[in-house]
């Protein structure tokens, strides 16, 4: 058994496809197939069920994959321990963030972090919660910035700040003259939303269960926006194609760059989200985690309230 074989089966379990797993591991498909057969012969069990279209872990294979991931985590921790023995703030920190957090938070915390840890390069990326979760588990990123709720075995999750959702509308919209907006007033609006896979979309749907129901049986602009970025939604709102609900940090950026847009807070109990950071419990660079956390909390991101 080798770490390389463990990486292959963990990737294969994640993608359930030899070609995709091989691409992820930067090897050929036969390489993974041969390694899997070798490992299965050594263990005396079938780790995966193979069919023409996909590859699915067997019940015992699921346990083998889980243990393989633990071994990879511990092996990665050995490297981290060696690096931390030199200086925890002298090597690169890989930070991932979901799409609705990264663009609005990165510009605020990077400058103060560079001041406190000038010799710690940042490698940043954006992705869906599901992909960042997998990359954190595999050690491909060190820390991720996600929206609560979030839980994962052997992962530390710490809330950072809280922010309300606001309504983004054109400045000439019928609701623009109101100081506060009732949530029921969205029932007859074309609410533009993020596409499937974005956790923020799910949060909006949970907070406003009746939105867009009048469009469910006919084609609408809303269906064309799914999969778009927040920036795309803002441009469509400015064009008068609908309204959208955004985290306050994102909405403030939109109104700052476009005078034709305004934000409105909701009356009553306002829908909101909590942003958190998460890292492996085995990650030994505690000073790097502290430096990142302090930089984020000191950035005073507009529209947010830090968590105690």
Q: pLDDT tens-digit profile of 32-54?
A: 999 999 999 999 999 999 887 78
The beta-strand segments (E) located in 129-187 are 143-147, 155-170, 180-181
* CATH code: domain of residue 55: 1.10.10.10
Neighbours of 300 (CB within 10 A): 10
Q: Please provide the distance, in angstroms rounded to a whole number, between the alpha carbons at the two ends of the chain.
A: 46
- Pair (166, 296) in one structural domain: yes
Inter-residue contact 182 to 265 (CB < 8 Å): no
Structural domain for 151, as ranges = 88-308
Q: Give tens-digit pLDDT for 215-226.
A: 454 444 444 445
Instruction: Return the residue matching tokens 């922010």.
Output: 163
Across 127-148, b (16+ Cβ under 10 Å) vs e yields bebebbbbbbbbbebbbbbbbb
Domain end point (choices 61, 83, 105): 83
169-190 pLDDT per residue, tens: 998 999 888 889 888 888 888 8
Place of tokens 């958190």: 276
Q: What is the pLDDT of residue 73?
A: 84
Q: Are residues 79 and 92 in the same domain?
A: no
Q: Is residue 186 classed exposed, middle or buried when 0-12, 13-18 and 19+ CB atoms within 10 A define those classes?
A: buried
Do 58 and 207 lie in one domain? The reply is no
Q: State which residues of the chain have pLDDT below 70.
A: 80, 83-86, 212-228, 256, 302-303, 307-308
Burial of residue 4 (CB within 10 Å: 0-12, 13-18, 19+) is exposed
Q: Are residues 121 and 224 in the same domain?
A: yes
Among 60, 83, 106, residue at a domain's last position: 83
Share of the chain above pLDDT 70, in %: 91
**What pLDDT, on the 0 to 100 scale, is given for residue 213?**
65
In a shared domain, residues 237 and 267: yes
* 288: its two tokens: 């790097």
Spatial distance between the Cα atoms of 293 and 296, rounded to a whole number of angstroms = 5
Please tell me whether residues 97 and 44 are part of one structural domain.
Answer: no
Taking the complete model, does pTM exceed 0.75, yes or no? no
Q: Residue 222: what pLDDT?
A: 45
Distance CA 105, CA 83 (A): 27
pLDDT of residue 195: 79
Examine the fold and report which residue of 50, 83, 116 is the final residue of a domain before the chain moves on. 83
Q: In the chain, how many domains are there?
A: 2
Phi first, then psi, for residue 53 (nearest 5°) are -105, -25
102 and 124 Cβ atoms separated by less than 8 Å: yes
């Amino acid at each position: 058994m080798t770490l390389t074989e463990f990486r292959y089966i963990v990737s294969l379990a994640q993608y359930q496809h030899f070609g995709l797993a091989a691409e992820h591991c930067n090897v050929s498909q036969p390489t993974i197939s041969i390694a899997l057969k070798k490992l299965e012969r050594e263990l005396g069990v079938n780790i995966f069920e193979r069919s023409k279209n996909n590859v699915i872990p067997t019940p015992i294979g699921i346990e083998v994959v889980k243990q393989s991931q633990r071994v990879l985590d511990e092996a990665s921790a050995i490297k981290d321990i060696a690096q931390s023995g030199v200086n925890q703030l002298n090597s690169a920190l890989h930070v991932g963030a979901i799409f609705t957090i990264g663009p609005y938070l990165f510009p605020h915390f990077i400058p103060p972090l560079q001041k406190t840890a000038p010799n710690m390069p940042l490698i940043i990326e954006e992705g869906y919660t599901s992909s960042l979760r997998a990359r954190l588990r595999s050690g491909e990123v060190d820390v991720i910035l996600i929206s609560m709720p979030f839980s994962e075995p052997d992962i530390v999750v710490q809330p950072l700040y809280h922010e309300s959702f606001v309504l983004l509308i054109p400045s000439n919209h019928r609701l623009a003259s109101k100081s506060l907006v009732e949530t029921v007033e969205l029932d007859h609006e074309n609410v533009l939303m993020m596409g499937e896979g974005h956790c923020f979309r799910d949060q909006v749907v949970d907070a406003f269960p009746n939105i867009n129901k009048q469009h469910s049986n006919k084609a609408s602009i809303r269906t064309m926006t799914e999969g778009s970025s927040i920036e795309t939604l803002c441009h469509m709102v400015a064009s008068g194609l609908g309204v959208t609900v955004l985290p306050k940090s994102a909405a403030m950026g939109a109104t700052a760059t476009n005078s034709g847009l305004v934000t409105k807070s909701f009356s009553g109990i306002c829908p909101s989200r909590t942003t958190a950071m998460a890292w492996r419990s085995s990650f030994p660079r505690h000073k790097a985690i502290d430096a990142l956390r302090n930089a984020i909390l000191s950035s005073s991101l507009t529209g947010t309230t830090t968590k105690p």
